Amino acid sequence: MKLLEKVTLGKQTLQNALAMAPMTRSRANSEGVVSDLTTLYYTQRASAGLLITEAVNISEQAQGSPLTPGLYSEQQIEAWKKVTKSVHDQGGVIYAQLWHTGRVGHSVDRKGKLPVAPSAIGITGQQHFTSQGMKDYETPQELTTQEIRQIVKDYGQAARNAIEAGFDGVELHAAFGYLPNQFLSESANLRTDAYGGNIENRNRFVLEVMQELVDVLGSDRVGIKLSPTVYYNNIVNSDPVAQFSPLIEALNELPLAYIHLMNGMFPLDNFPKNPKNAVETFGEISKHLVIGNAGFNKESGEAELEKGIAKVISYASLFLANPDLPRRFQLDAELNQPDKATMYGGGEHGYTDYPFLED
């Protein structure tokens, strides 16, 4: 079974071809510090070939949701050290996913400050989860060129902090409608300067951040997650192939560890130019190791690996509910089902109390 075969990722050897996908769990404290419960959570799942953390705020400005972890204070870094050490003690490999939410946030959880974005365009038709309940999105403040350059530096500092905290590498969260994805989207980015107006300019922010991360960490320690055909959070591209193909070609020039591609998670009937299989369409362009994500089970994940484009498959809710997922796949064992009611916030229930297979 290819899912259970070892894989070379950069300078490391993964014990199998399963990755745990990033999943927001909202278990940090109000200061963005993870607890010993988070250490247990990741340690339980260290049999994954690659662990990618929940999205981690790169700065105070980056935060959009309550109780999400950060990687910009000494207290946050020290707490993550416990996680990485415990995972490494179990033979695991762990990357930190670096997060700036952009306009996907609310001022009630940002000390009264409005979210920021490429353009002053708010999200409509959805509400945001806040510490005060569900709220309509606000109109974000448009970033200045100087502020954009500072955010690029903030990513670099977060990467330094990640290495100090013991992570093996970092992944840029450029998917699912967060800040980098907002720059890529013609519906969220109406700028007319160097960061907007055409495809090359809309790609510029992501490429500058990726260059910054590589400059800080060197080769084979940086990945990126992209969702070319996910239109959640009001993200629209009329022609994803035209937008993302040159981006991936430019990423080919950087010494990355991998590119993490997310399939469309919503019906694409109204988007005829959106490829049905983003992993295949865009993975064929990439010279880097490809991780396929979104909607895979054991059988479809194995089938995707058999095609030869993706080398690793990442699983989200299956890993959430099955800390020993590789063993369950190996034994063709029954899977625990995730409890959606306990995915976000709370304590150990629905977090660290999912049962392992009995020996």
Q: What is the DSSP letter of 70?
A: B
- How sure is the predictor about 275, in pLDDT bands with cuts at 50, 70 and 90? confident
Q: Stretch 284-289: mean pLDDT, rounded?
A: 98
What CA–CA distance (Å, rounded) separates 105 from 138? 8
- pLDDT, tens digit, for every residue of 158-198? 999 999 999 999 999 999 999 999 999 999 999 999 999 99
One of 3.10.300.10, 3.40.50.720, 3.40.190.10, 3.20.20.70 is the CATH number of 2-342, namely: 3.20.20.70
- Tokens of residue 13, six digits: 């050897």
The average pLDDT across 221-241 equals 93
What share of the chain in percent tops pLDDT 90? Answer: 93
pLDDT at 272: 73
Place of tokens 């509400």: 127
Pair of tokens at residue 248: 């991936």
Is 129 buried (19+), middle (13-18) or exposed (0-12) by CB count in 10 A?
middle
Lowest mean pLDDT among 230-239, 255-264, 300-309: 230-239
C-alpha to C-alpha distances, 122 to 53, 57, 105, 119, nearest whole angstrom: 28, 21, 10, 9
pLDDT at 265 over 80: no
Using an 8 Å Cβ cutoff, are 7 and 17 in contact?
A: yes
The three-class DSSP label of residue 87 is helix
Are residues 202 and 189 in contact, defined by beta-carbon separation less than 8 angstroms? yes
Please say if the pLDDT value at position 268 is more than 70.
no
Cα–chain-centroid distance for residue 255? Answer: 19
pLDDT for res 276: 85
Task: For tokens 């894989």, name the residue.
Answer: 7
What phi, psi does 207 have (nearest 5°)?
Answer: -65, -35
Q: For residue 95, which phi and psi values (nearest 5 degrees)?
A: -110, 150
Q: Which residues, 6+ apart, have CB-to-CB distance to 80 below 8 Å?
A: 34, 69, 71, 96, 162, 165, 166, 167
Mean pLDDT of the chain: 96
Q: What is the DSSP string of 208-270?
A: HHHHHHHHHH-TTSEEEEE-TT--GGG---S-HHHHHHHHHHHHTTS--SEEEEE---S--TT
What is the distance between the alpha carbons of residues 183 and 236, in angstroms, rounded to a whole number? 11
Backbone φ and ψ for 176, nearest 5 degrees, come out as 55, 25
- The residue with tokens 């970033």 is 143
pLDDT given at position 31: 96
178 is catalytic: yes
Q: What is the pTM of this model?
A: 0.97
- Is residue 270 pLDDT above 80, yes or no? no
Place of tokens 């009611």: 341
pLDDT of the residue at 264: 82
Is 70 exceeded by the pLDDT of residue 300? Answer: yes
The CA distance from 118 to 140, in Å, is: 9
Given 72, 95, 155, 178, the catalytic residue: 178
pLDDT at 359 over 80: no
Q: Find all residues with CB under 8 Å of 279, minimum gap 6, and list them.
A: 261, 263, 290, 292, 293, 304, 309, 310
The C-alpha torsion from 61 through 156 and 97 to 310, rounded to 10°, is 140
Query: Is 343 within 8 Å of 350 (Cβ atoms)?
Result: yes
Q: Residue 331 CB: number of other CB atoms within 10 A? A: 10
